[in-house]
Amino acid sequence: MGAASRVVGSVRSASWDDARPTISAVVTTFGRSSLLTGLVAALEAQDLDPLQVELVLVDNGSTDDTWAVLSDLVARSPLPATALRLADNHGPAPGRNAGVAASRSPLVAITDDDCLPTPGWLRHVRLAFAGDVDVVQGAVHADPAGLDDLGPWDHTIWVTAPTPFFETCNVSYRRRAFERAGGFDEADPLLHPPSGRAFGEDACLAWEVQRTGGKAAFTSNALVHHRCLPGTYARWLADQRQLGRFPGLARRSPLVARWLTHGVFLSPASARFDLAVVGVAASVGLRARWPLLATLPWARRRWGNARHLARSRRDAPAVLARLAWSDVVALGSMAAGSVRYRRVVL
């Protein structure tokens, strides 16, 4: 956790020194100044005693007006709050580590800058730590305000049940367990590829906490809404290419390995596509049509996905074609990753 040495600026609210925080909300942000007003308002609306909560917001090396917006919001906040500015961006892990290092409470609740915590978020997180729990995963739903306008390639996140990924849009740690595990990894090339898109550091930290004796819990009551963000098909394909790192993640985290379908497939959906590919290959090799029956489970489900994602029924075939190509890209990426990391995930 060496990011604190790169802090080049800080701002505190008037009540920072008066606080007796029992829980800290930590967020790192990069180049998303337009989202900060809503985020801070949601954090300020938490239904706990204001002096038992503190906000730690980190500008992770932004080059736009993020620092100006963030520092102004924090300076005017009625809650105990601080903003830190890092000199440069090396992925979200250093920003989160810097935020945790600056916090003062025994419990640290983490969310992302594209999220809107509900008013009871921190209260329910705190309740979930009763007993000897060390990491709490909370529920994430798409922001109801944007759900009806969600396009086929737009982005949001749902977490409705425990996963092995402990996504940073809603995960909390007991400080001593976070520090024992060493915080978020800042250097591993699996987690921080040359593309600059961090991958899996949240899953690896949660596993390390549990590997070293910590216990995990899930609470659906600690709800965070994830904004519905505009996306493109190119970004969708980039996400499929990122799946090539899953074999490495499965080697790193037994939780992820156990989560895989039959220990090999990324999901039931990927298993259906793999079966379809085998069916097509068998049809060509045997010069027969009956193996194509193996494509039906994938085709039926993907057609349903296309109809759901398309803005109109007329657009569904084009969406289906793009989904099919994205499945090809995903399979190719995971096959290459399986070779690279010597762990089969398809």
pLDDT tens-digit profile, the chain (346 residues): 444 458 899 999 999 999 999 999 999 999 999 999 999 999 999 999 999 999 999 999 999 999 999 999 999 999 999 999 999 988 899 999 999 999 999 999 999 999 999 999 999 999 999 889 999 999 999 999 999 888 899 999 999 999 999 999 999 999 999 999 999 999 888 887 766 678 899 999 999 999 999 999 999 999 999 999 999 999 999 999 999 999 999 999 999 999 999 999 999 999 999 999 999 999 999 999 999 999 999 999 999 999 988 888 899 999 999 999 999 999 999 999 999 999 999 9
Of the candidates 319, 331, 343, 317, which has an alpha carbon nearest to the alpha carbon of residue 275?
331
pTM of the entire structure?
A: 0.94
CA 321 to chain centre: 27
Q: How far apart are CA 65 and CA 54, in angstroms?
A: 24
Residue 15 confidence (pLDDT): 96
The CA-based dihedral angle spanning residues 337, 339, 344, 346, taken in that order and rounded to the nearest 10 degrees: 50
Residue 3 confidence (pLDDT): 44
Residue 165 confidence (pLDDT): 97
Residue 245 confidence (pLDDT): 95
Q: Please return the burial class of 197, using the count of CB atoms within 10 Å of its CB with bins 0-12, 13-18 and 19+.
A: middle
Spell out the domains of the chain, with CATH numbers in brackets: 3-231 (3.90.550.10), 232-346 (no CATH)
Residue with tokens 């596509």: 273
Of the candidates 325, 93, 345, which has an alpha carbon nearest to the alpha carbon of residue 244?
345
Range list of β-strands (E), the chain? 7-12, 23-29, 53-59, 81-86, 107-110, 115-117, 133-142, 171-174, 215-226
Q: How far apart are CA 86 and CA 58, in angstroms?
A: 7
